[in-house]
Chains A and B, each alone.
Chain A
Amino acid sequence: MARIGVFVCHCGENISATVDCDRVAENASGLPGVVHSVDYKYMCSDPGQTLIKEAIKEHKLTGVVVAACSPRMHEPTFRKACAEAGLNPFLCEMANVREHCSWVHEKTESTTQKAKDVVRLLVEKVKRNEALQPIKVPVTKKAVVIGGGVAGIQASLDIANGGHQVLLVEREPSIGGHMSQLSETFPTLDCSQCILTPRMVEVAQHPNITLWSYSEVIGLDGFIGNFTVKIRKKAKSIDEHLCTGCGLCTQKCPVRKIPSEFEQGLGTRPAIYTPFPQAVPNKPVIDKLNCTYYLKGRCKLCERVCPTQAIRFDQPDEIVEVQAGAIVLATGYDIKRTDFFPEYGYGKYKDVIDGLQFERLASASGPTGGMIRRPSDGQIPKNIVFVACAGSRDPAKGIEYCSKICCMYTAKHAMLYKHKVHDGTPYVFYMDIRAAGKDYDEFTRRAIEVDRTKYIRGRVSRIYEKEGKLVVVGADTLLGGQKVEIEADMVVLATASVANPGSEELAQIVHVSYDRYKFFAEAHPKLKPVETNTAGIFLAGACQAPKDIPESVSAASGAAAKVLGLFANDELTREPLVAVVNRMAPPLFSTCIGCFLCQPVCPYNAIEREEFKTRDGKLLKAVARINPGLCQGCGTCVALCRSKSIDLYGYSNKQIYTEVSALLDEALV
């Protein structure tokens, strides 16, 4: 005989303001099977939980219904309290009388009536609950980090230093990402490569880190703790074990005029190349799209000069499957080109460049050796204009959001320029100066007060060429829109940060959600910023939203902490709310007729074929079997099963029907 306890929560006034809680409790005490029913101000508080625990012991309860908030809020709290009192946690159910009742209705008699009804349904359901045991699944203690920018590097190092194996997968020939392209970093103006390359080297040397550069993730199966990652290792056309990284091939390669991706098109590279001198790994790859041999079938100069015979023209792409327990996405961002802003003349005027190009100009390792020279004729610009918000905060043509990093890097650019061209004048057109961060506002003030950058509040309306000068037309909105025209020698557009091309595709491959800007979506904007909605997949850096270096690094360490927390367990405990195919005695074995219609509809590939055979191997019957490790309890197979052989633990057909008929019985009375 069921002995159910009902506990009605006031939630301060959240519930009691519109629902008469004592009457709900009183009404519940009259329901068949209910032996105890009380209301209390805060059921989730410590005294509230004690109330439940004591009642379980005193009244020997076989089921508990807590009428309170959504189970998403406090179901774990109350189930744990029940477990502490010796009751199987899955015999505790929550009746949602807050989100589904008190918050959405006025204070009327029918609101209280609805609360009573909801409690009644759950009392009927909980009578049919079964004591369930959590499912344990093993954890593969190896992480795959996708993307080798500063975030991916940090996450890899943190996980590896925690004692676990990491596979770092990078699409480009070298790790380092955008940070390796930067000249100096705000707000300290320390050289980007000087602080990054030691980390890159550490990655290469770390015994726990395997680095696969020039590789891409092309498939992902499995679930938290047990992923199978399919990776394409693109052919580098060299034997990495033989190559010593001497660089002879890159010097001799006759194709030299390919615009360098690393130099943002301001420099060139050969067809066999390492992107930059400090590249990790420092071994070249052949760019098949530009190599004469791949295009015309002859040349092979690199093969002839290679002292170790490491060139392999016939090397195929390799597709490898890797087992991993956790994934960290750290694929970074890209900048929006401003072709869509014809009024700014990007692409038309050589001396209108973007922020990343300016970084290369200001970088000591860049195409000009760190001299600020304009691309058209190599002259040092005396008047330089920086345009902030070039594409950001522009719902009409660009993107709606603030790209966050541009205010700071524009101030930095103006400063770097002034430090190199003492008699030059930097101008900045801006809408707002958004410099929130440690030492950030001080930094922008320094650009204005110490380096005397001319900040002009207003958007630039257009840029046109006149007698070898770029005329920048804008307005000073602080002077009531006074027209400003500056004859500049060079213009730098702080273009918007956007999601990486291919991020949408990757999100679909690894099954994580993404937002309307194609940035990966976090599980909760405040409380789960590095988790995704897919358990076991975490986010680091600017693949989630525009982030600066400190933020990317913090997020990466946060993601690494989550991975290490996961790897601290040998096996994972999962809620046993999974689908099962029923079983019965031979010769029937199961009511499942083996139609396997359920197999293709399962989104998690959790349905397998199970065969019953005689001792001499003759097939008696084939039925469906659900892998409890893979099943997420979505119930699609239950709805589809023609012979009603599948049921969902915790939400069985019997339980659902009972709830419905409990509601209807009362309505008919």
Chain B
Amino acid sequence: MSHHEPLIRDSLSGKVLMNTEVKAERCYQCGKCSAGCPVVDQMDIPPSQLLRLLQTEIPSNDEKILRSHTIWLCLNCEMCIGRCPMEVDIPPMMDFLRSESIRRKMVNPKAGNIIAFHRSFLESIRYTGRLFELGLVLSYKSKTFHLFQDAGLAPEMIAKGKLGFIPERIKKVADMKRIFSRTLKKGVQS
């Protein structure tokens, strides 16, 4: 960073830099990330364009990013960073943008299911230290009311022992809870 430049910048790009060390200016808009992204077809803004919006440091563009569906669709598969010639680390940036979107109450209306899934997943981890599949399914369905989605798969999964009825637990569940509460105290949203 230039010695002439204030370290703290108000723009979203400045916050991304502070929290994730991802420097949006490095992107030169080659488009390789968008070209390789497996979910780009579903996104409302391709990842490369999201970076361009970030570079402009215009408040309306910042808001466009935080209100986008893209940040929720990102799978963190890391195809983009694996291929980026300028090493712009998109996945951690997307993580930050999601939390920022929730913090500023700008969550895309289409992201409800995704957030519900994330929450259900983390709840399972928080209380058992492991992923309890049935618990995850029930929690997700209760949050989204998608009661019958994929229900037809259940009998076969139960028959194959893929869907246990009793959750497995780690030995020190209390430690896991402590990790969660400490992280939450730091201000990162679950």
Contact = CB atoms under 8 A, between A and B. Distances in A.
Whether chain B is bound by chain A comes out as yes
Contact of A452 (B25, B52, B61): B25
A419 B5 CA distance: 10
Contact of B1 (A422, A450, A457): A450
Contacts of A480: 49
Contacts of B5: 422, 452
A449 B23 contact: yes
A478 interface: yes
A422 B4 contact: yes
B56 A476 contact: yes
B2 interface: yes
Interface residues of B, number: 16
A75 interface: no
Nearest to B49: A479
Interface of B: 1-2, 4-5, 23, 25-26, 28-29, 49, 52-53, 55-57, 61
A371 interface: no
A418 interface: yes
B29 A457 contact: yes
B59 to A, nearest CB: 14
B29 A451 contact: no
A452 B1 CA distance: 9
Interface string A480-517: 10000000000000000000000000000000000000
Interface residues of A, number: 16
A606 interface: no
B6 to A, nearest CB: 8
Contacts of B4: 418-419, 422, 451
Interface in A440-490: 445, 448-452, 454, 456-457, 476, 478-480
Nearest to A422: B4
Interface in A403-448: 418-419, 422, 445, 448
Interface of A: 418-419, 422, 445, 448-452, 454, 456-457, 476, 478-480
A63 B56 CA distance: 76
Q: Would you call the interface of chain A mostly helix, strand, loop, or mixed?
A: mixed
In the complex, the 7 A-B pairs of residues with the closest C-beta atoms, listed nearest first: A422-B4, A478-B52, A449-B25, A450-B2, A478-B29, A448-B25, A451-B2
Contacts of B55: 454
Q: Which of B4, B23, B49 has the most CB of A within 10 A?
A: B4
B56 A454 contact: yes
Contacts of B52: 476, 478-479
Given A448-B28, A451-B4, A478-B29, 11 more contacts: A422-B5, A448-B25, A449-B23, A449-B26, A450-B1, A452-B5, A457-B29, A476-B56, A478-B49, A479-B52, A479-B56
Contacts, number: 34
Nearest to A456: B56
A54 to B, nearest CB: 59
A445 B28 CA distance: 9
Nearest to B55: A454
Q: Which of A419, A448, A479 has the most CB of B within 10 A?
A: A479
A454 B13 CA distance: 13
Nearest to A418: B4
A479 B68 CA distance: 14
A313 B3 CA distance: 56
B125 to A, nearest CB: 38
Nearest to A433: B28
Nearest to A451: B2
13 contacts: A418-B4, A422-B5, A448-B25, A449-B25, A451-B4, A452-B5, A452-B25, A454-B55, A457-B29, A478-B49, A479-B56, A479-B61, A480-B49
Contacts of B56: 454, 456, 476, 479
B24 to A, nearest CB: 10
A488 to B, nearest CB: 15
A418 B49 contact: no
B21 to A, nearest CB: 14
A321 to B, nearest CB: 57
Contacts of B26: 449
A457 B55 CA distance: 12
Q: Which of A448, A452, A457 has the most CB of B within 10 A?
A: A452
